[in-house]
Copies of this chain bind each other. A is one copy, B any other.
Amino acid sequence: MKYSIGIDLGGTNIKGGLLSTDGKLSCRKVVSTCVNEGVKAIAARIAQTIQQVITEVNEETHQSGNSTKEIIGIGLGSPGLIIAGSGIIHFSPNFPGWTDIPLLDYVSDELGDLDIPLYIDNDVNVMVLGELHHGAGVGYENIVALALGTGVGGGVVINRKVYHGSWNTAGELGHTVVQPNGRKCGCGNHGCLEAYAGARHIVERTQQKIIEGRKTCLKLEGLTPKQIAEAATTGDKLAQDIFAETGRYLGIALTSIAHILNPQIAIIGGGIAAAGEELLFQHVRKEFKSRTMDIPGEMEIVPAKLGNEAGLVGAAMLPY
């Protein structure tokens, strides 16, 4: 059995844990990120989280009388554009002001003489890596994955490796154009998938329909995707239509993606994907099937398996 440490750097918390080669997480730790304290302080807290995991690993080993667990590496998942292989965060929407931050160097300095190699990648690529090795992607070579959250992240796996592209921005599947003159996306473009399937946009699309007078049990103020999903489950027609339309746009994006990349499987995760088969996935598949060419193989569309654990598991897979 081999072991590695995964660190999931978020805007609120830094999570850490130990992963064994059988995909089991243990020795979990959570530390507040405290974004306002700046990058060096965050690097120190990441190092602290790593140290906490290692301390617990050593204590457990000591208590059980087993032989020492060799940790082959530490992987860090971070939001933002990461320059592959360099340990540098080019920029990150979650950490305002960070430009070309050598985060791994800072963490390494804080760790002192701890001789374990460090790796970093984008949080969505890391999520994809987790699903690839221990989730819905096990047994597949060529995968695309979508993370439906506030934004719509994505990742591309080719021959069981995350593909980074020419400037580390491959896999921005949320910015596949699904409606050329459609809703304005946060990226500046019009009609990206994210402008329909991102959390804020799902809420806005619903609010727009409420304002237009559609009958619904939903309230305009304080609306969340979760409320919409719950209303849909209890039969609210507007809420159901919103998810069906979201599914259709996902199906359109996946059509383009399948024709370009011909993957074996599309994995859809993130909070919005929790809406599940009836509200969301059946509509994705139906739209996809009605649009794609008749080819020898058919891309599967499946929900992610690891949920919130994908970030930690995937980060811990970076050293492999």
Chain A interface (Cβ < 8 Å from any Cβ of B): 81, 83, 90, 141-142, 154, 156, 158, 163-173, 175-180, 187-190, 252-253, 255-257, 259-264, 290-297, 299
CA gap between A23 and B38 in the complex, in Å: 55
Structural contact, A296 and B167, CB atoms closer than 8 A: yes
Oligomeric state, in number of copies? Answer: 2
Q: Which residue of B lies closest to A264 (CB)?
A: B166
Candidates B187, B256, B262, B292; contact of A256 at CB < 8 Å: B256
Shortest CB-to-CB span from A156 to chain B, Å, is 7
Structural contact, B296 and A170, CB atoms closer than 8 A: no
Candidates B90, B158, B259; contact of A158 at CB < 8 Å: B158
- Which residues in B have their C-beta under 8 angstroms from that of A176? 256, 259-260
Structural contact, B256 and A296, CB atoms closer than 8 A: no
CA gap between A259 and B33 in the complex, in Å: 30
Shortest CB-to-CB span from A190 to chain B, Å, is 7
CA gap between A190 and B290 in the complex, in Å: 10
Structural contact, A189 and B292, CB atoms closer than 8 A: yes
Structural contact, B170 and A81, CB atoms closer than 8 A: no
Chain A binding site: helix, strand, loop or mixed by DSSP?
A: loop
Structural contact, B167 and A297, CB atoms closer than 8 A: yes
Structural contact, B167 and A260, CB atoms closer than 8 A: no
Structural contact, A263 and B166, CB atoms closer than 8 A: yes
CA gap between A203 and B255 in the complex, in Å: 26
Q: A154-B260, A168-B262 are in contact. List 11 more A-B contacts (CB 8 A).
A: A165-B261, A167-B262, A167-B296, A167-B297, A169-B295, A171-B260, A176-B256, A176-B259, A187-B293, A189-B255, A256-B260
- Which residues in B have their C-beta under 8 angstroms from that of A164? 262
CA gap between A154 and B256 in the complex, in Å: 13
Structural contact, A260 and B172, CB atoms closer than 8 A: yes
Q: Which residue of B lies closest to A143 (CB)?
A: B166
Structural contact, B189 and A293, CB atoms closer than 8 A: yes
Structural contact, B187 and A263, CB atoms closer than 8 A: no
- Which residues in B have their C-beta under 8 angstroms from that of A165? 142, 261-263
Interchain residue pairs A-B with the least CB separation, the first 10: A165-B262, A167-B297, A170-B262, A175-B259, A172-B259, A189-B291, A176-B256, A166-B264, A169-B295, A167-B296
- Which residues in B have their C-beta under 8 angstroms from that of A188? 291, 293-294
- A141/B169 contact (C-beta < 8 A), A178-B177, A179-B180, A260-B257 known: no
Shortest CB-to-CB span from A193 to chain B, Å, is 9
- Which residues in B have their C-beta under 8 angstroms from that of A295? 81, 167, 169
